[in-house]
Amino acid sequence: MSILVTGGAGYIGSHTCVELLNAGNEIIVLDNLSNSKPEALDRIKEITGKDFEFYQADLLNKNELMTIFSENKIDAVIHFAGLKAVGESVSIPLHYYHNNITGTLILCEVMEKFGVYNLVFSSSATVYGLQQCVPLHEELPTGATNPYGRTKLMIEEILRDVHVANNKWSIALLRYFNPVGAHSSGRIGEDPNGIPNNLVPYITQVTVGKLPKLKVFGNDYPTEDGTGVRDYIHVVDLAAGHLMALEKVMDSQGVNAYNLGTGIGYSVLEMIDAFERASGNSIPYEIIDRRPGDIGVSYADSSKAKQELNWVAQKGIDDMCRDSWRWQINNPNGYEKDQVKRKISVT
């Protein structure tokens, strides 16, 4: 099969490209590199020993997209491209709405023009909003608390409308829980810009000494140790979920949402513990106030993905921490090792 991967140079996209290539698919990657590095693409090739076409292109540029579709035979699209920082989305909402929503509209227009109706979309557990009724299942009401979350929710609705208008569309809305970990080679992983917002990249940077200590956001949640509980899922399991979703999309029609999580929640203190085990280092932390907008507990009911996609997460918390740690120590400055070294040597 030949698959267009939008946002394929990013964290989840790069891991999914590896799985797609290893399973014998052809891929075409589109990315504007606004939040990723071309080095990730070289490393996908290095891990898999396979080559693929890359277009440094923006989804907002319809002409570029038309060129990609006319130059390649495309059976399906996996659509990762989007902006994802919650805090930033509050500061620059128009940019988020334009990039994520307009980008998806243009993608769908061009897909229709070329008769490509198979789509796997990166949604998020954020669409459950402030819902406290765990485990979260796909039939629960949705909501959003920030512009980023609203882009995911709106895109889900748009894609449902697109299918109502033309039932040739076959679409999987994958609601990811908390992706962490890295490829076991230690060659690709999460490379956040600046100071990380999310727990695991923050912990790994504290563990290598790049950041002084972790701030734990609140210990007064109604959880066993009072800290927030999340469903962390290994990015390679998540990538495998896309292949299963692709199979489903290729031999059915309609729009279906699927939770991709492990179904197990871990607290912040349990994550610190697991990282200390994986790294052999102690992780300094302090408890501070809750982060505004955070919920106490979130974990998935992924039984629909098990039943309909035949997908179940295989990797546990120790695999996640070990692989995140390996990526961090092998690539202390992410993909920018050489550039950072150069910067340091001139100052």
**DSSP letters spanning 283-301:** --EEEEPPPTT--SB--B-
- Our finding on whether 10 is near ligand UD1 (CB under 6 A) is no
Which strands form 76-79's sheet, in the order they lie side by side? 53-56, 26-31, 2-6, 76-79, 118-124, 170-176, 254-260
- Our finding on whether 189 is near ligand NAD (CB under 6 A) is no
Residues contacting 7, CB < 8 A, separation 6+ = 13, 30, 31, 36, 79, 80, 81, 82, 122
- Out of 52, 169, 202, 275, the only residue in the binding site for ligand UD1 (CB under 6 A) is 202
Other beta carbons within 10 Å of 284:
12
**Cβ distance to ligand NAD smaller for residue 65 or 162:** 65
The one segment of 25-33, 258-266, 318-326, 334-342 that binds ligand NAD by CB under 6 A: 25-33
Beta strands in 111-235 (DSSP E): 118-124, 170-176, 178-180, 214-217, 229-230, 232-234
The one segment of 63-71, 78-86, 254-262, 338-346 that binds ligand NAD by CB under 6 A: 78-86
Q: For ligand UD1, how many residues bind (rule: CB under 6 A)? A: 19
The one segment of 94-102, 235-243, 274-282, 290-298 that binds ligand UD1 by CB under 6 A: 290-298
Task: State how beta strands 229-230 and 266-267 pair.
Answer: antiparallel
Structure tokens at 32: 């504007």
- Our finding on whether 69 is near ligand NAD (CB under 6 A) is no
Residue nearest to ligand UD1 (CB): 228
Residue nearest to ligand NAD (CB): 10
- Our finding on whether 242 is near ligand UD1 (CB under 6 A) is no
Cα 22 from Cα 24, distance rounded (Å): 5
Per-residue binding string, ligand NAD, 26-55, x by CB under 6 A, is -----xxxxxx-------------------
User: 1 vs 26, 76, 343, CA distance in Å?
Assistant: 6, 8, 43
- Our finding on whether 80 is near ligand UD1 (CB under 6 A) is no
Question: Buried (b) or exposed (e) across 184-213, using 16+ Cβ within 10 A?
Answer: eebbbbbbeeeebebbbbbbbbbbeeebee
- Our finding on whether 223 is near ligand UD1 (CB under 6 A) is no
Cα 284 from Cα 317, distance rounded (Å): 20
- Our finding on whether 60 is near ligand NAD (CB under 6 A) is yes
What are the backbone dihedrals phi and psi of residue 216, each rounded to the nearest 5 degrees, phi first?
-90, 120
Q: Shortest Cβ distance from residue 258 to ligand UD1 (Å)? A: 16
Cα 23 from Cα 103, distance rounded (Å): 28
- Out of 58, 231, 237, 301, the only residue in the binding site for ligand NAD (CB under 6 A) is 58
- Our finding on whether 103 is near ligand NAD (CB under 6 A) is yes
The one segment of 8-16, 99-107, 288-296, 301-309 that binds ligand UD1 by CB under 6 A: 288-296
Cα 289 from Cα 268, distance rounded (Å): 14
- Our finding on whether 100 is near ligand UD1 (CB under 6 A) is no
Residue 241 interface partner, choices ligand NAD, ligand UD1, none, CB cut-off 5-8 Å depending on type: none
The one segment of 21-29, 56-64, 111-119, 138-146 that binds ligand NAD by CB under 6 A: 56-64
| Active-site annotation, residues | 148
Q: Which residues bind ligand NAD (CB under 6 A)?
A: 7, 9-13, 31-36, 58-60, 80-84, 99, 103, 122, 124, 176, 179
Q: Which residues bind ligand UD1 (CB under 6 A)?
A: 86, 124, 126, 149, 178, 197-199, 202, 214-217, 228, 230, 268, 291, 293-294
